[in-house]
Chains A and B, each alone.
Chain A
Amino acid sequence: MAENRCPMCGKSNPEEAQRCVFCQAQLKPLAGGEEPQQPSFSFSSSDESEWLKSLRHAVGEEPSFSEETGQEEPDWLARIRQRAQTERQSTDGDKNQLSSWLSDTGGESSAAGEEDWLNQLRAVTSVSQETTEEPLLPSQEERRMTTGELRDVRDRLSRIAGEPVDLSAGVSPAPQPSETVPSSAEAEQPPQAPSGETSDLTEWLRSLEYTGVEQSSEEAKFSIPLEESTELPYSGLAEFTGESELGGGPPEGEQPDWLRAFEEAPTAAETPSAPMSGEETPDWLKAFEEAPSVEEAPSTTEPASAPVSDEETPDWLLELAQTFVPETPGDQTSPFVARVSPFAEEIPPQVEQPKEVTASALQPAAQPEPTAEAALARDVDLTDWLAELEGEAIDKEAISKAFILEEEQPPSEELPAASYPFAGIDADLLGAVEAEASKEGGLEGLAPALLPDWLQALRPVEAVLGETPAASEEELQVERAGPLAGLRGVLPADRLVIQYRKPPIYSIKLRVTEKQQRHIEALSDLIKAEGKPADIKRENLQAPRRLLRLTLALILVLVLLIPLLVSSPSLTPTGLVPGEEVRSFYSQMSLMVPDRPLLVAVDYDAGYLGEMRFAATGVIENLMLKRQRLALVSTVPSGPLLANDLLERAQLKLTQVEPAIRQGYALPDRTVTLGYLPGGITSLQEFATFPRRAVFAGLGNVAGEPQNVWGHVVVQDVHRLSDFAGLLLITDRVDTARAWIEQVEPALERRPFLVITSAQVAPMLTPYVDSGQIEAMIWGISGGMAYEQLAGVPPHAAAYWNAYRYGMYVGFAFILSGVLLRSITVAFSRRRKPNEA
C-alpha cells in the first residue's frame, strides 16, 4: 500500500485517508491533485509546544529551540479532535467571547471584522504559493491572495497588535476572490500600515512579517529564510523536509539561516510592532517588541513576512490551518480556526477554508517589514493568545476565513496540506477573538498563559499532560540527585522510559550441543560419584595388621638366623649352579688386559651395600688377584665412600686367604679414586667425550691442596675412555645403568662393558645384555657367590647362602599362602551367595 505521508506531521497514513490520522491535517490537496510537499517540519506537538512556549517565554529567554523530531502523540491529537468537535458545536453562537488578552490588547474587533481578517488570513494560507526551486508547498497559485486582501489582513493584525482596533470599522472589505495574489514583486511591497491607531499593531505585525533576504537577523528568526527574494519563505523547508519526516529540524550543517538564528541567543530583538492597544502593551506583544527574535519556532515554518502574499504566508498559519482542516471535504472549518474569533470576520466569505493549506499559501511576501498578519501567522505567537480565548463558541468559519485570502483557484480545489497553523482557522473564531479584543480596548495585559481551550488543545504538551499537576510538577520539580542536581525541569527518567520502545526480549534458553550434553552428563556423574562413598570390599583377613607384620618379621628372622647361627662357616654353598650369564662374566673378566686400568663405576647407595658386598666383592678380589689397576668414579655422592669401602673389604677378605695380598696389591698404588661426577647424565656425556675435563680433582680439595688425579700412575696414560681396559659398572638402579649405557658405552669402542647389579634391577637390564651393549652381567647374592665359585676366590660363608635360600622359600610360601587364602575365600563367598539367594 502506498504511503500517504502527512505534510504536517510527516507520518505515514493509509492511502485512502483524507486526513492524517495523527494530526488531522488534510492529506490531499483541496485544489489540484498534487501531493503536498513534505514539510520540513510538521505541526507536531513539539512544534506546537515550542512556538507556544516561545510565546510564553518571549522575554529574555533563549528560544527554546525544540529539537524534538516531532514525535506525534496521538493522545493529544485525539483530545484536540475531541475538543475541536465540541468547540465547533459550541462556538456557533459564541462570537462575542474574547479572551482576556484580546481585551488587553485593546483590540476590539467586531466579530465581523475578525471574521474578515481571519478569512483573509485563511485565504492567504489557502492561496497557493509560488513555486520555488525547492517547492515544498502546494502550488502558489492556490495560495495567492489579492493585495487588498493581504492588506486587510495586515490591518487586522496591526490592530490586534496594539491599538484599540475597531475591527468592524477598520476592517477592510474582504478581498474579492477575483483578486489575485500579487506577484512576488508586489508582494515585496510592504503592505501599507494602517493609520495612526494601528501603527503599533502594524509595527509588531510588521516585525513578524517575513522580509525575505533583506530581513534582519532577528526577523530571520521569525521567518523562514529565503535564499532569494523571490523564493518562498519556506524554501528552507526543503532542508527540513529532507531531514526528517517527523518535522524535525534540518541537519546542523544544512540548517537554514533562520533556523540557525533560532539557535543563537537572541541578543537583539527586532522591535516588534506596537501592541495592539495604544494605551498598554500586552505582555505577549511586549515580548514581540523586545525580543521578537526569541519568538522563534524553529520547527515551524513561520514566515516573517505578512501572509498577504503567497511568498510570505507564515508557516504557522499554514500549520494551524492544516491542523484544522475540516475532516470532511465540505467542512472547511477546523476547531482551531473556529476559535480565532478576531479574524473570523475578516476572512472573505468568498474564500472558503481550504481543504489543504500548504505552506506556499502562507509564504511571506518579500516585504521587509513585518506585518500584523505575519506576526499573527506565527504559530508560536498565536497559540498563546489564541489559547486565552474563552470563546468556545467562536465562529470557526469566521476565524478561518480571516487567514485565508481569496484564491485564484476555484474554491473547490483541494489545497495541499500546509504546515502553517492557521490554515484552517475558522473565521468565526477569529472574529470572536477580534470582537472581544475590540471590546476590551485592545490587546493589552494579555497573559501568555491565557489561551482558549481550543488553542490549548492544540498544544501537544498540554494536551498530553493536560496541564496536569504532573506537567507542572515536572517543571517545578528540582532534581535532587545525580549530575543534574539543582536543575529544574529535568526530564524524569521514568517518563522517558515510557517513551522508549519495549526492549527486545532475547531468549535465555541456553543452547547446548550434543557433545556438550555428553560432557555435562559425564561431569555430573563424576560429581555425583564424588559424593558417594566408594564401595570398599570388606577384607576377610581380620588379624591386626601390626600383629601380622610382627609375626611375619619374626618368621623371617627365625628362618634367617638359624642358618647364620647354626651353619658352619666353612660350609660351601649347595645348589648354587653358576648360570650362563655368570660364566660369560667370568670369561670377560679373564680376557681383560691387565696392563690397562679398569674403570670401575661405583653407583649404588649405602642401602644396597649388603647385597653389593655379596655380589661385587668376589669380582674385586679376582681383579686384585690379577693385579688389575682400578680407577674408581661415581655419579652418586656416597659413591667414593662406598668405593673405598668395597676395596677395603675385598682386600681384607683376600688377606684372610692370602696374607701377602696386602703388600702385593697396595690400594694407594693400584687404585685411584677419580672423584664425583655431579651432573648425572650431563657429566657422563662430558666424561665420555673428555674424561680428563669431566673429573680431575679427586677427593681432598677442601684442604686446599687440589691434585690432578690424572697424573696418578694408574691413569696417567689414559686420555679417552677407550684407553681403559673396560668398564665395570656396579649399580642398583635402572636409570643409572641406562645412563651409563647410553652415554658412555658408545665411547668405549668395543671395550667390555660389565655390570654388577642388584637382583631387583637385573630383569630390566637383560635387554641390554641381549643387545650386546652389556657384555656380561651378574646380580645379587646368587650371582656373586656363583662367580666366587667359578673364580676360585674365597667364598662367603655358606650360611649366608642358606639363609638367602630359606628366605626365598619363605617368600614363596607367603605368596602361595596368600593365593590359597584368596582362593578359599572366594570359594566360600561363592557358596554363600547361592545359599543366600
Chain B
Amino acid sequence: MRAPFSTALAIAFGLVVLLGYFIPAPCDPANPGLSCTFLGIRVVFLDWGAILAGVAMLVGIVNLALVHWRKVRMAGKERDLLSAVFLLAFLITLAAGFWFTPADVRFQRAVLSIQTPVEISLMALLVVTLAYASLRLLQRRSGLMAASFVISALVFLLLMSGLLGLFQQVPLLRELVNLINRLPLAGARGILLGIALGSLTAGLRILLGADRPYSG
C-alpha cells in the first residue's frame, strides 16, 4: 500500500471531522461532557486544516516565483524577460505589503488599482468573445440540447434586459413569465444534485482510503 501513514492520518482526521456533523452542537459550557470534548478536538483539527491550507497556498506562490526565477536565468531563446517583470512586481508588492501592512489604505488602493482594471478588462473582453460565439452557436453542433440552448439564451437575454417585464402586468403572461423564469431551476437542481452526489462519492473514497491523491 502506498503511503500508509499518510492514508491513516487522512482517514483518522477525516473521520473525526465527519462525526462532528452528527453530534449536536453547541454544547453547554456549564456542563461540557464528552460531546464538548469531541467538538473541541474537532475544532482543533479544523484549525490545523485552515493553517495548512494557508501554508499550501504560500508554497504554491513561492513555487510560482521560483519558476519565473528559473525562466529569467535561462539562456538563449528560452529566457523570458516578462518573468522578470513578474518578479519585479512580486517583490515590490511584497515589500510594500510588509512595509505598509494590508490594513493600510494606500497599499489596498495600490493593489486594487492594478488588479481591478486588469480583471475587469479581461471580463469585458469576454463580451466580444461571447458575441462572436453567439454568431456560430449552431454551426458546430446541432441537436436537441443545442436548440434548447439557443432558444433559452434568446429568451433569457430578453428577460434580463427587462423587455418582458412589461408583460408581467398581465396575469396570464405573468404566470408564463414566472414559469419560464423557473424552468432553469429543474436543470440546475439536477446539476446540483449530481455535483453533491459526486462530491459525496469522492469524499467517501478518500475517507475509505480508496483514493490517495496525496501519495504522489
A joins B in a complex: yes
A698 contacts across to B, CB distance below 8 A: 103
Does residue B74 face the partner (Cβ distance < 8 Å to A)?
A: no
Does residue B134 face the partner (Cβ distance < 8 Å to A)?
A: yes
Q: A606-B119, A702-B101, A764-B188 are in contact. Are A641 and B154 (CB under 8 A)?
A: no
**Chain A residue nearest in CB terms to B123:** A607
CA distance A818 to B150 in the complex (A): 10
Identify the stretch in A31-39, A209-217, A674-682 within 8 Å (CB) of chain B at 4 or more residues: A674-682
A808 touching B160, Cβ below 8 Å? yes
Does residue B62 face the partner (Cβ distance < 8 Å to A)?
A: no
Does residue B97 face the partner (Cβ distance < 8 Å to A)?
A: yes
Interface string of A772-807 (1 = CB under 8 A from B): 000000001010000000000000000000001101
CA distance A765 to B184 in the complex (A): 10
A682 contacts across to B, CB distance below 8 A: 46, 49-50, 53
CA distance A540 to B17 in the complex (A): 58
Does residue A561 face the partner (Cβ distance < 8 Å to B)?
A: no
Identify the stretch in B2-10, B64-72, B85-93, B125-133 within 8 Å (CB) of chain A at 4 or more residues: B125-133
Pick from B42, B105, B138, B192: contact of A764, CB below 8 A.
B192
A606 touching B188, Cβ below 8 Å? no
Does residue A2 face the partner (Cβ distance < 8 Å to B)?
A: no
B165 contacts across to A, CB distance below 8 A: 575-577, 579
Does residue A644 face the partner (Cβ distance < 8 Å to B)?
A: yes
B160 touching A553, Cβ below 8 Å? no
**Residue from B42, B104, B119, B153 with most neighbouring chain A CB atoms (10 Å):** B119
Interface string of A618-643 (1 = CB under 8 A from B): 00000000000000000000101110
B47 contacts across to A, CB distance below 8 A: 686, 693-694
A683 contacts across to B, CB distance below 8 A: 46, 50, 53
A552 touching B128, Cβ below 8 Å? yes
Tell me, rounded to whole Å, the shortest Cβ–Cβ distance linking A273 to chain B: 82
CA distance A767 to B182 in the complex (A): 9
**Residue from A580, A605, A679 with most neighbouring chain B CB atoms (10 Å):** A679
CA distance A579 to B101 in the complex (A): 43
Tell me, rounded to whole Å, the shortest Cβ–Cβ distance linking B18 to chain A: 11
Q: A549-B128, A644-B108, A699-B102 are in contact. Are A690 and B43 (CB under 8 A)?
A: yes
Does residue B191 face the partner (Cβ distance < 8 Å to A)?
A: yes
Q: A575-B162, A640-B102, A645-B112 are in contact. Are A609 and B120 (CB under 8 A)?
A: yes
Q: A645-B112, A686-B47 are in contact. Are A818 and B160 (CB under 8 A)?
A: no
Q: A700-B101, A700-B102, A818-B138 are in contact. Are A577 and B54 (CB under 8 A)?
A: no
Interface string of A681-692 (1 = CB under 8 A from B): 011011001100
**Residue from B54, B127, B135 with most neighbouring chain A CB atoms (10 Å):** B135
Does residue B166 face the partner (Cβ distance < 8 Å to A)?
A: yes
Q: A552-B131, A606-B112 are in contact. Are A767 and B189 (CB under 8 A)?
A: yes
**Range of interface residues on chain B?**
35 or more
Does residue B215 face the partner (Cβ distance < 8 Å to A)?
A: no
Does residue A517 face the partner (Cβ distance < 8 Å to B)?
A: no
Q: A606-B120, A678-B57 are in contact. Are A641 and B111 (CB under 8 A)?
A: yes
CA distance A812 to B158 in the complex (A): 7
A814 touching B131, Cβ below 8 Å? yes
Residues in chain A within 8 A of chain B (CB atoms): 537, 539-541, 545, 548-549, 552-553, 556, 575-577, 579-580, 605-610, 638, 640-642, 644-645, 677-680, 682-683, 685-686, 689-690, 693-694, 698-703, 720, 738, 759, 763-767, 770, 780, 782, 804-805, 807-812, 814-819, 821-822, 825
Q: List 25 A-B contacts (CB under 8 A).
A: A537-B139, A552-B132, A575-B162, A576-B165, A577-B162, A606-B120, A607-B123, A641-B112, A642-B112, A644-B108, A678-B51, A678-B53, A679-B54, A682-B46, A682-B50, A766-B184, A767-B192, A805-B161, A808-B158, A812-B154, A815-B157, A818-B134, A818-B136, A821-B135, A822-B137
Residues in chain B within 8 A of chain A (CB atoms): 17, 20, 25-26, 39, 42-43, 46-47, 49-54, 57, 97-98, 101-105, 108, 111-112, 115-116, 119-120, 122-123, 127-132, 134-139, 150, 153-154, 157-158, 160-163, 165-166, 168, 178, 182, 184-185, 188-189, 191-192, 195
